[in-house]
Structures are given as structure tokens and as C-alpha cells.
Amino acid sequence: MAKTKIKIQKYERSKQKKAWTLWYKERDEASHTVLQNMLWVIRESWKSSKAIALCMFLVIVGRTLESLCGSYTNKYVVELALGTSSRVTLAIITLMLIIGGRLFRSIANEAGGYDRYVASFRFKKVLHRRLMKKQMTMDYENNEKPSVNDNLKKAATANSWIISAANRNMEELMIALLGIVSYGSILSILSPIMLLIVAVPAIAGYYINKHKMLWVWGMAENWQSYERELDYITSAGMSYKRGKDVRLFRMENWLTDLFQRSLKKRLDWYEQQDAWERRWDILALTVQGLGNFAAYAYVIYLVLSGNIGVGSFVLYFNSIQNLSQAFRDWCDKYSGFQWFSNNINYMRDYCDMKDSTNRGVGVPLPEGECEIEFRNVTYTYAGAEEPTLQNLSFTLKKGEKLALVGLNGAGKTTIIKLLCGLYDPTEGEILLNGVNVKAFNREEYFTMFSTVFQDISFLPVTVAENITMQHKTDMDMEKLDQCLQKAGIYEKIQSLPQGLDSRMIRCVYEDAVEFSGGEMQKLALARALYKNAPVLLLDEPTAALDPIAEQEMYLQYAEFSKDKSSIFISHRLASTRFCDRILLIENGRIAEEGTHSELMQRSGKYAELFELQSSYYNKKEDEDFDA
């Protein structure tokens, strides 16, 4: 069956003008110029490994000298064959050029191999570590902003391969520049006009290539959605977490069909791009070919008229080709580096993103018990139309055990994140012992809190390291054992063959220990207790525990929260009885406040929810559950 001819989408003049306007706007608004980014790559390469800069230098010089040796070898080989002068001298020169060419090629190949596989890998990992550190230390609130996440994805893409490719592109750019200087000098000896004959078509080719790439850039909005679909479907199909759903709901064929559908649409744009580029590539080759033809014709005329010898003819003939290629390479690589530069800007802009919180010298942290006050706090998530919390005011008193209850989405976890400094209020202020928390150094402020969040995470290291977050030599083993006992996980750890040295996360280590959801929550609680911060924040710490284990933890809670201000979030209202005070959060506001007994006596929303939950546990076995 004959393949259907690809129809290229028309590039309307209005769309072309808009694309050029946007391209110039993006260029003018770029945080760093192409030259600045070239120097940045060189500087950062040098910092990460001196070997990278040395290898780049050796590759550039080696390839340039190898090419020159080859051109002059051809000249002297012809003269040696014709015997135009002393054959011994020509033979020695030819032999030295051949040896030199092989030597320079070997140096360039060895340096290039090391640069691409060792030095560049090290450079990429240095930048990856910087990107990772920025992501871990920047204001947490930024992580939930779509614009910041888009920038992170662009920065990660730039780091993954564009940075390394930029190194190689810069090598080839410098090789092309040296080629222009070298072969331009050779041809200028013959006639300066030769430079124009070769250079003008090459520069015209650059603008043809620029026009070609503008179509690709301008049409990107048509295929980017398919790229996102392919990335998401691939991630969903390969995700370990989604593996159970994929198998139980037989989603593999469905996901495969979705992938094929998006792939077909994406390939259609690849084929259009290929056809478009082929059209303009032919024009560029034609223009450059005409320039080379004119230069070749001129050199042939000179040799036929006896103005130059055969050896010089070979040298000039090769120089025309090499100069033309050098001009094309320089234009191509410079154009390519403009694109690399935009992506390098993504990396640099993300790493240079300023924090809004105080990361400098702050007010000294208070010692002893703490009191935290929310004063008219409103918080709105980025992109949200309505605030999650509205004009919220309450005080966590010194040594008080405070419970936050309410339906899902009421704003309880948002309160915790605001309190411990992960978020800053959109309006209002939060005070620690009467001082606005913005006055404290944010990193130091984090040390005031021991937390257990709903989304528990552990690292692929030992149990002891996951709890203490310290090297083994720095651990307080007695304190560690006490925290494990308080959290109710001590016996489980002791039963493991390697005890506290057991490694976690089985997808990383085959011999890793697999803990249940409830055991993971106990480990997270042990980690919070080991930190022993003045304020204890527990966000659904018993959600994955069975009722017996949950009751045991409640009995221990009063003991390990002694002398600490603490906040406890739970959907199970029965678990809040031991707290000094309860806040019922509804629609981002405090709907009710008091002790368990006080709230029950009011017969309000809290009492209604409590009775509703209790009814599920109090029904008799033979009673219709849905009655």
C-alpha cells in the first residue's frame, strides 16, 4: 500500500509574524544572553572537574590540527608524486604531517571519550545535585505552584541531557570557528574575495535554517499536548504504585491503546516536521552548493592558467570545502546554542529563584515551652479562587494538647503546614511567643517542630538512620530505643534479623524490610519523638492502626506530649477526648471550640458528627447497617 503523502500545516503570515514577535520577546526577556550562558557552562564545567575544560581544549585543538594536517598532507603528497622539489624533503614533511594527523586524532578521540562518558557524567551529576538541593531547600510553598513545577520540569530536562549536549555543541562551535580562521587565512592568501564567495551562501544558509526552525517552534503548541499524554501514560503504565490497579482492572490493553493513539498523532507532527525541514535543507544545500561551485571554478581557472601549482590547487580546493563546512557548522551550532541557551536559562532561573522567607540572620528562637498564635490568618492556594482558611484566629497555649477535627477539605492540614513554617499566610500573621514567625530564620524555625504527616516517606537506608536522620556514630541508641518503645514498634524491630540495621524500601534493596501501613506510622511517630522538638504536630498518626493499637497509642500520647505544646488531627472524634481543647474546623473557619464534654453538651455540629461515628460502632450484628 502506498504511503499517504504528508500534508504540511500551512504557516499563515499572521502566525509567522506572531511567532517572530514571541521569539524576539523571549530572547529579550531572557535572564542571560547566549554568551553569558556559554561562559557559565565553561565556568561550571571547570568547577565540577578541571578535566572537562582540559578535555574540551584538547578536542578543539586536536580536531583543528588534524584537519589542517590532512589538508597539507594532500598538497605535499601530490607534489611528492610529481617531484616538483626535493623528494626527500617532501617525504619527510609528508610523513610528519601523517604522524601529526594521527597523533592529533588520537588525542582528540581519547579526550572526547573521557569528556563524554566520565567528565560530562560528573558535571551532569553536580548540576543534578544542585537542582535537587534547590528543590529540597526552597520555600516549600513553591513546590505546589504549577508555574514553579513547570520550571522544575524544564530545568530537569535541561539538566538531564541539554547541559551535556551544550558542552559538545560548544566544542563543535569552537572547532568551526577555528576552521573559519584557519581555512579563511589559507584562501585569503589566494584571494580575499574567496572568503565572500564561500561565506555569503553559508550565512544565507543560517537564515534559511532559522526560518526552518521557526516553523518547528511556532507549531510546538500543536504537539506538546501529545508529548504530555505520552509521558503521563508511560508513567502510569510503569508505575509500581499503580501496578495493582493495572492488573486488577485489566488496564494494560486500555493504556496501550491510549499510548498508540497519542503516539500516532505525535508521529504525524514529526513527519510534517521532517518534510518541512527537508524542503528547506534542499534550498540551503543548493545555495551553499552554488557558492562552492563558484569558488571551485575560480580555483580550477587559476590552475589551468598556470597561476598556481597542482599542490596549491589541491590545498585550495580542500580549503574551499573545509571553509564552507566550517561556516555551515558555525551557523548551525550557534543557532543550536541559542536553543541550548534558553534551556540553560531554565536551569539557572530555577536555581536562582528567590525565597520569600527569611534565610538570613533571624531573631533567636525561644527556649522552653512555646505559645503559637494565629491572628486573622487567611490562606489561599496558588491558582485557587477561594481561600482555604478565612480570618482564622486561635492560640496554641504553652503545654496545651489541642485537637483539630473536621471533614475532609476543612483546612486542618493547611493549618499544620502554616504553623510549622511550610506555608506563609496570605493575610494575617502567626506569632511564636509574641514574635512574628517571619522574623526567625526559617531553617532554625523548622527545628521547633516534630511532625508526623499523613503522607509518610522513608529513605532507602537503615531503620535507625530513617528514625534519627543521623549517621550511626552520632546516634543516641538509648534514646532511640525509648522512642521505639513509646511508638509501639520496638518489639517488631527487635524481631528483625538485622534489627535497627535492617534496610528499608524493597524496590531499591532486595533484602529490605517491608512494613505495614500501621508500622510505618509508628516509625514516623518514633522519628518525631527522637527529634524531641518543643512542639509536636500529629496529622492523622493512627489512621492505619487497628483499634487496639490505636487505643494503646492514645494512652501513651499524654505521656510523650508532656511539657510540649501539641496539635493532634484526627477524623475519629473519639480519639480527641484526652486533649485539653478541641477546634472543629469547617470551611476554613472555627465552627466550634471547647473540651469534648463541653462540645457534646452544646449538641452542635461536633456532637452530631460524634454521634454519627459512634452509631457505626454501636450497631448490633443482626441490625441492618443501612437502616
- Domain holding 85: CATH number? 1.20.1560.10
Q: Is the pLDDT of residue 124 over 80?
A: no
Question: Is the CB of residue 413 less than 8 Å from the CB of residue 389?
Answer: no
Note whether 442 and 502 are same-domain residues.
no
Select the more confidently predicted residue: 185 or 220.
Answer: 185
Does residue 240 form part of some domain?
Answer: yes
For the purposes of burial, counting CB atoms within 10 Å of the CB of 264, is it exposed (0-12), middle (13-18) or buried (19 or more)? exposed
Q: How many distinct structural domains can be found in the chain?
A: 3
Contact status, residue 357 vs residue 424, Cβ threshold 8 Å: yes
Domain-ending residue, one of 324, 351, 378 = 351
Spatial CA neighbour of 527 closest among 464, 461, 472: 464
Task: Please give the average per-residue pLDDT across 566-591, as a whole number.
Answer: 84
Rg (CA), the chain: 35
Can you give 531-592 as a three-state secondary structure string?
A: HCCCEEEEECCCCCCCHHHHHHHHHHHHHHCCCCEEEEECCCHHHHCCCCEEEEEECCEEEE
Backbone angles phi, psi at 615, to 5 degrees: -60, -30
Q: Which helix (H) or strand (E) holds 327?
A: helix 310-351
Please check whether residues 48 and 189 belong to one and the same domain: yes
Q: Looking at residues 30-49, what average pLDDT do you find?
A: 82
Strand-pair partners of 567: 402, 537
Residues 546 and 423 in one domain: yes
* Same domain, residue pair 485 and 468: yes
Q: Are strands 372-379 and 535-539 parallel, antiparallel or unpaired?
A: unpaired
Residues 201 and 63 in one domain: yes
Indicate yes or no: pTM above 0.85: no
**Residues 62 and 107: beta-carbon distance below 8 Å:** yes
Q: Are 219 and 337 members of one domain?
A: yes
Which of 556, 362, 515, 323 is CA-nearest to residue 441? 362
Write down which residue in 532, 557, 575 finishes a domain.
532
Please, what is the average pLDDT of the chain? 81
Q: Do residues 429 and 548 both lie within one domain?
A: yes
Task: State the Cα–Cα distance between residues 269 and 264, nearest whole angstrom.
Answer: 9
Residue 462 DSSP one-character state:
B
Residue 22 placed within a domain: no
Does 215 reside within a domain? yes
**Position 17 in a domain:** no
Looking at the fold, whether 232 and 332 belong to one and the same domain comes out as: yes
> Looking at the structure, do residues 109 and 145 belong to the same domain, yes or no?
yes
Ordered strands of the 589-594 beta sheet = 449-452, 535-539, 565-569, 401-405, 581-586, 589-594
Q: Does residue 625 carry a pLDDT above 60? A: no
Q: How many CB atoms lie within 10 A of CB 77?
A: 18
Strand 427-432 with 372-379, pairing: antiparallel
| 68 and 199 co-located in one domain | yes
Q: Out of 469, 504, 532, pick the residue that ends a domain.
A: 532
- Looking at 30-162, list the stretches that DSSP marks H as alpha helix, in order from N- to C-terminal side: 34-48, 50-82, 87-114, 120-137, 146-157
Cell 530513617 -> residue: 466
Would you state the cell numbers that stand for residue 300, as one nine-digit string?
580550477
Give the span between the Cα atoms of 34 and 29, in whole angstroms.
12
List phi, psi (to 5°) of 516. Answer: -75, 170
The CATH code of the domain that includes 444 is 3.40.50.300
Helix axes 146-157, 310-351, angle to 10 degrees: 150
What number of other Cβ atoms are within 10 A of residue 38's Cβ?
Answer: 21
Are 385 and 439 members of one domain? yes
Q: Are strands 449-452 and 435-436 parallel, antiparallel or unpaired?
A: unpaired
How far apart CA 541 and CA 527 sit, in angstroms, is 12
pLDDT at 440: 92
Q: Is 364 inside a domain boundary? A: no
Q: What residues make up the domain containing 83?
A: 29-351
Orientation of helix 310-351 relative to helix 50-82, angle to 10°: 170
In tens, the pLDDT along 224-250 reads: 677 777 877 887 777 766 777 777 777
Out of 106-120, 129-143, 424-438, give the one with best mean pLDDT: 424-438
Question: Which pLDDT belongs to residue 20?
Answer: 65
Residue partners of 135: CB distance under 8 A and separation at least 6: 143, 152
At 8, is the pLDDT very low, low, confident or very high (cuts 50, 70, 90)?
A: low
How many residues are listed for the chain in this entry?
Answer: 627
What is the model's pLDDT at position 1?
42
Measured CA to CA, the distance from residue 84 to residue 76 in angstroms comes to: 10
Percent of the chain with pLDDT over 90: 14
- Are residues 493 and 381 both part of a single domain? no
pLDDT, one tens digit per residue, over 319-346 is 888 888 888 888 778 777 777 787 788 8
The answer to whether residue 260 sits within a structural domain is yes
Report how far Cα 435 is from the mean position of its chain's Cα atoms. Answer: 36
* Distance (Å, whole) CA 323 – CA 180: 6
Residue 17 contacts by C-beta under 8 Å, 6 or more apart in sequence?
A: none
